[in-house]
A and B are shown apart, each in its own frame.
Chain A
Amino acid sequence: MNPGQYEIAIDPQWSTAIDTIVAANAAQPGSLIQILEQTQKEIGYLPENVQAYLSEKLDIPLSEIYGVTTFYALFNTEPVGQHTISVCMGTACYVKGAGDIVAEFERQLDIKAGETTQDGKFTLEACRCLGACGLAPVLTIDGHVHGRLTSADVRNLLENYE
């Protein structure tokens, strides 16, 4: 008599998507990071139930997967905001004032770099070199590049997304 069992509570759409990703990758050795990357692309972030589901599918302990997702900057365990602001903190941008720009965003949005505003509108990231040193200091909002900025431009930039 089996009255039931414990199952990972996960949106069936998510589990179907993960099944496909796992099927395409799992045969390759060491494919965890690819799988996580593709899963995040599909779902937007890597919440606990998704990681647990992967743990079960891949037979890798959840703590090991969690260790990986918290190690690499690419992975989010929390949902990201509607708009993602990535301020380049490469050296070239830094010597041209990128630090001030991050500080100004932090003030305007009342969050720290790496966080999302309470209303879920903006995620602020200080990212590594975007490779657009000619435009330094540079940032992207949802992938759109804005260059040659000063902290005075921050307010205007944000207003475009209000």
Chain B
Amino acid sequence: MATPASNTMVQVTIDGQSISVPASATVLEAAQQAGIMIPTLCYLKDINQTGSCRVCLVEIEKARGLQPACVYPVSDGMVVRTNTPLIRETRKSVLELILSDHPQDCLSCVRSDSCELQSLSKQLGVENLPYPGEVSDYTLDLSSPSIERSSDKCIKCRRCVSTCQKIQHVSALGVSQRGFNTQVAPVFRHTLDEVNCITCGQCINACPVGALREKDEIQKVWQAIADPVQHVIVQVAPSVRAALGEEFGLDPGTPVGHRIPAALKHLGFDKVFDTGFTADLTIMEEGNEFLDRLQGGGALPMITSCSPGWVKYCEHHYPDLLKNLSTAKSPQQMFGALAKTYYADISGIDPRNIYSVSVMPCTAKKYERQRAEHTNRGYEGYDDVDAVLTTRELARMLKQTGLDFLRLSEEPFDAPFGIGTGAGINFGATGGVMEAALRTVYETATNQPLGNIEFLSLRGMEGIREAHVDLPGVGAVHVAVVHGISNARDLLEKVKSGEADYHFIEIMACPGGCIGGGGQPLINAQQRMTLPEDYRIMRTRALFAESQDLSLHKSHDNPNIKLIYEKYLEHPLSEKSHYLLHTHYQARPKYTAQQWVAQDRDHEDLDILVPWQHAHEPHPHEPHPEHLVPNPFAYPDYENTQPSLPESP
């Protein structure tokens, strides 16, 4: 309805202080302007504004009872009180009620020290728990490779639900039942792996308590490090360096890339590599694939595939667009594939003894590494990537060692995967892949140097951004960049209906791209209100600062990239590249109640699944994951392969 124009101002009195605030403000925002941080719990700026937890109650003159500041609009002459005995008592009582249905295991909870409920209890002076009674008792959901769901801890604030529905348009989590039995969960008591969850982890970032967390792989990694036989290598994604500092008290937007190699060496990793290198490699493959499709009549628009959350979404929701996904693997998986082949070759280490870890801003990367296409590879049946740590897990490992992260000295990443160009580093921000690809595509297609390498119209936080790029001699290419699945869906619907016509689309599952990933340090609700700007913009700035420091800004200029093609892969899209660096996708059911139906329906009776029988037996013609694994002969049988490449410089 008619909302007041945001530029008109109204006068409100808060705790006796008269201030002028925009007419569109809420009482919460007005109070913040007056220097009063009203406590909140279910409120998550721009995402969840429902007024349901009742922690932010205030007194508003002429309004009945207490009112929630987070959703109450200001009006001219409004008089608000935020600190009366009734308010203090009621807020505390509300909190005591929440705590009466919350496990009392804070000391062993991953969110101990970052739990919003915990800090509120302290802030509001909860000293005992006066309302014992029935406590919710749900099964711990460990089914997902990425996300652990502990419904017992859920306080029903629904921040995750709003995120999953509104931001991601996945709706894997929903609110069901009612009253005390209200539950935030997938449908029909399914576990997360049985539904269309894309493992992006945005729900974790929204959760104020420990009900949602990443699947922890720390112990596995410690064990590998402690194993004298294992050669433990680690790759670090670009975005990690734009956010890790937050875990050590630095402001969002502080770049810490230079400290990371030393930190990881301190943990005991044998080699520390930069995923920026395989980001450059991805650009080489993906850029050439694009030119190939553009000039050879392949499926367009080509859509990027380095965001595993997006890929999984596409498999569940847009199986007919799978042919449009670039077959190039993500940088993590390219790295994984090379670590146990090329790297094993050149370093002379049995791939069985290489333990490959990646540090990612992303929970979906944990899922990606476990996809059938990337596991049980080669004759030996090893996985390309053995463990994925999120930025948060890396921070926890570092804290476990007592290392003073802020005093670490600058060290370079190790060769041969130690150099990423600015193009590869920019992968971390929405638009970064497209920008990097365009630089390489332009110069590859035209054989002319690209003057201005910055595609400013592709930068920023707009949900959907686009650009026309003229490739002399080839023609104009129309490209688009989207982040957040909800935006992606809007765009794809336009593409499907023919309303939009693009050649190349970059899609990142998470808002802001990888810097806003589900594995990044948590930015709590209060920070989201008080930070000078969107934390994703701040992190993007840090990422660009990191890339700005580098001397090279085009993936094809990376000397190690040139070398690896020269010595090993031959050229982009070579047979070897295809086997190692490209992959396949498969349709996945959107609903548990779906089953595979082969095309030749005339010869097959449609099996009717008995309604209560959810278990899904693979149909004889259903693409079995195994059939999609690239032919294993591409992997060297180490026993028969002699090191053939010189040490890279």
Direct A–B contact in complex, judged by CB atoms less than 8 Å apart: yes
Q: Which residues of A contact B (CB under 8 A)?
A: 2-12, 47-53, 55-56, 61-64, 66-67, 70-71, 77
* Alpha-carbon gap, A5 to B622, bound state (A): 8
| Among candidates B175, B188, B319, B611, residue contacting A6 with C-beta atoms closer than 8 Å | B319
A66 touches B188 (CB 8 A): yes
B607 at the interface (CB under 8 A from A): yes
Which residues of A are found within 8 Å of B597, using beta-carbon distances?
4-7
9 tightest CB-CB pairs across the interface, nearest first? A63-B174, A9-B609, A61-B171, A52-B591, A47-B611, A49-B593, A66-B187, A6-B594, A4-B598
Query: What is the minimal beta-carbon distance from B587 to any residue of chain A, in angstroms?
Result: 6
A-contact bits for B578-600, CB 8 A (1 contact / 0 none): 00000000011111111111110
Which residues of A are found within 8 Å of B594, using beta-carbon distances?
6-9, 52
Which residues of B are found within 8 Å of A66, using beta-carbon distances?
174, 176, 187-188
Most B CB within 10 A of own CB, among A8, A48, A53, A63: A63
Q: Which residues of B contact A (CB under 8 A)?
A: 165, 171-178, 186-188, 319, 587-599, 606-609, 611-612, 614, 619, 621-623
Main secondary structure of the interface of B (DSSP, over half): loop
A48 touches B592 (CB 8 A): yes
B187 touches A62 (CB 8 A): yes
Most B CB within 10 A of own CB, among A12, A56, A66, A77: A66
A52 touches B593 (CB 8 A): yes
| Among candidates B171, B589, B612, residue contacting A47 with C-beta atoms closer than 8 Å | B612
* Alpha-carbon gap, A50 to B598, bound state (A): 21
| Among candidates A9, A52, A55, A77, residue contacting B608 with C-beta atoms closer than 8 Å | A9
A6 touches B589 (CB 8 A): yes
Query: What is the minimal beta-carbon distance from A43 to any residue of chain B, in angstroms?
Result: 9
A9 touches B188 (CB 8 A): no
* Alpha-carbon gap, A48 to B172, bound state (A): 15
- 23 A-B pairs with CB atoms under 8 Å apart are A3-B599, A3-B621, A3-B623, A4-B597, A4-B599, A6-B588, A6-B594, A6-B595, A8-B593, A9-B595, A47-B612, A49-B593, A49-B611, A51-B187, A52-B592, A52-B594, A61-B171, A62-B591, A63-B165, A63-B171, A63-B172, A66-B187, A66-B188
Query: What is the minimal beta-carbon distance from A77 to any residue of chain B, in angstroms?
Result: 7
Which residues of B are found within 8 Å of A9, using beta-carbon distances?
593-595, 606-609
B587 touches A5 (CB 8 A): yes
Which residues of B are found within 8 Å of A63, using beta-carbon distances?
165, 171-174, 176, 186-187
A6 touches B187 (CB 8 A): no
| Among candidates B174, B186, B596, B612, residue contacting A64 with C-beta atoms closer than 8 Å | B174
Sample of 6 more A-B contacts, CB < 8 Å, known A49-B593, A64-B165: A4-B619, A7-B594, A7-B606, A49-B609, A63-B165, A67-B176
Which residues of A are found within 8 Å of B606, using beta-carbon distances?
7, 9, 12
With both beta carbons as reference points, the residue of chain A lying nearest to B181 in the complex is identified as A70
Which residues of B are found within 8 Å of A48, using beta-carbon distances?
187-188, 591-593, 611, 614
* Alpha-carbon gap, A3 to B175, bound state (A): 36
Which residues of B are found within 8 Å of A53, using beta-carbon distances?
593
Most A CB within 10 A of own CB, among B592, B594, B598, B612: B594
**CB-CB under 8 A for A6 and B587, given A11-B608, A63-B186, A77-B188:** yes
B165 touches A61 (CB 8 A): yes
**CB-CB under 8 A for A67 and B593, given A4-B598, A48-B611, A62-B187:** no
Which residues of B are found within 8 Å of A2, using beta-carbon distances?
599
B186 touches A70 (CB 8 A): no
* Alpha-carbon gap, A64 to B162, bound state (A): 12
Which residues of B are found within 8 Å of A52, using beta-carbon distances?
591-594
B596 touches A6 (CB 8 A): yes
With both beta carbons as reference points, the residue of chain B lying nearest to A45 in the complex is identified as B611
